[in-house]
Amino acid sequence: MPGAGDVVLTGLEIGLALGLGVVVGLVVGLLGAGGSIVTVPVLILLLGLSATQATGTSLVVVSIVSTVGLLTHARGGRVAWRAGFGFAATGVPAALGGGYLAVLLADEVITVVLAVLLLGTAVYMWSRAEPVDPPAPARSTSWWRILPAGVVVGLMTGALGVGGGFVVVPALVVLLGLSMPVAIGTSQLVLVLNALAGLTGRAGTGSVALTVGLVFAGGGAVGAVTASRLVGRLSGRWLSRAFSVLLVLVSVALLGELVL
């Protein structure tokens, strides 16, 4: 089972995992994405997990935090179920394959790929404008435009433990014409399905520290609830750019640890 590679935490480590989870929850709640891409390097740099374990454990966090988010958005009518399941149609098989692939890759390879992804995300977060709802209602579109995005997100989720919300949300807005609130809610469905598929691909490999993931996710839930009370009080552009700087620093730290 996924918890085969679990680790024992000291009281200090439990407190650290909870605190870091709160920070990640705040990021997710304020930006609508980006939490899992911070979770993986945090698990490596501050909690001492290997890259393989960190990417697997992050899937536990994504599964739980995104499920909470999905339920919240569903109650508010902000989930386009058909679009979400359609997006996940290719993402789930890709995430399953990514989960199998991850345990075959060396930690160094995973770390380098993750660092590059962090830098790419930093560029996107720095340059993105304030989200604006499309002027027209959600439009129909050829599904061949969204399916490749589903594959890319699924592979990232399964292999790297990142949810890919920073890809899912823009794709749902641009390709399917969903409003930003509905795109964020629908992305939670995609993330949950992909994360569960990624965990299935890692079953029995010992690449998931289940206890760490559960504690971290608990903190993430607290952070997400807190963030819901802060949304609207802070500039979205300022938050995005501050987050992009953080991603660059984390990427440099990952590469530095690899070299030293």
Write out the two tokens for 56. 């697997």
231: DSSP letter: T
Are 220 and 69 in contact by the 8 Å Cβ rule? The answer is: no
pLDDT of residue 233: 65
Which of 38, 51, 16, 18 is CA-nearest to residue 242? 38
Are 122 and 245 in contact by the 8 Å Cβ rule? The answer is: yes
| C-alpha dihedral, 48 to 53 to 58 to 59, nearest 10° | -170
Q: 127 is in which domain, residue-wise?
A: 2-259
7: DSSP letter: -
- Give dist(CA 131, CA 32) in Å, integer: 11
pLDDT of residue 6: 61
- Give dist(CA 95, CA 99) in Å, integer: 6
Report the chain's terminal Cα–Cα distance, integer Å.
34
Burial of 144: CB neighbours in 10 Å, binned 0-12, 13-18, 19+: exposed
- Note the pTM of the prediction, 2 decimals: 0.72
Q: In whole angstroms, how large is the CA radius of gyration of the chain?
A: 17
Write out the two tokens for 32. 């609508």
pLDDT of residue 84: 87
Burial of 219: CB neighbours in 10 Å, binned 0-12, 13-18, 19+: buried
Domain count, the chain: 1
For each of the chain's 260 residues, which pLDDT tens digit applies?
A: 344 456 667 788 888 889 988 887 777 666 656 567 778 888 888 888 888 888 888 888 888 888 887 887 888 888 889 888 888 888 888 888 887 777 787 878 888 888 888 788 788 778 765 444 444 444 455 566 677 778 887 787 777 766 666 667 767 776 777 776 787 788 888 888 888 888 887 777 777 888 888 999 899 888 877 776 665 566 667 766 777 787 788 788 878 877 76
Residue type at 171?
A
Question: Residue 183: left (phi > 0), alpha (psi -120 to 50), or beta?
Answer: alpha
Question: Residue 161: left (phi > 0), alpha (psi -120 to 50), or beta?
Answer: left
Q: How far from chain centre, in Å, is Cα 3?
A: 20
- Give dist(CA 189, CA 115) in Å, integer: 26
- What is the number of alpha carbons within 13 Å of residue 34 lying toward its C-beta? 29
Residue type at 8?
V
Q: Assign 3-class secondary structure to 184-208.
A: HHHHHHHHHHHHHHHHHHCCCCCCC
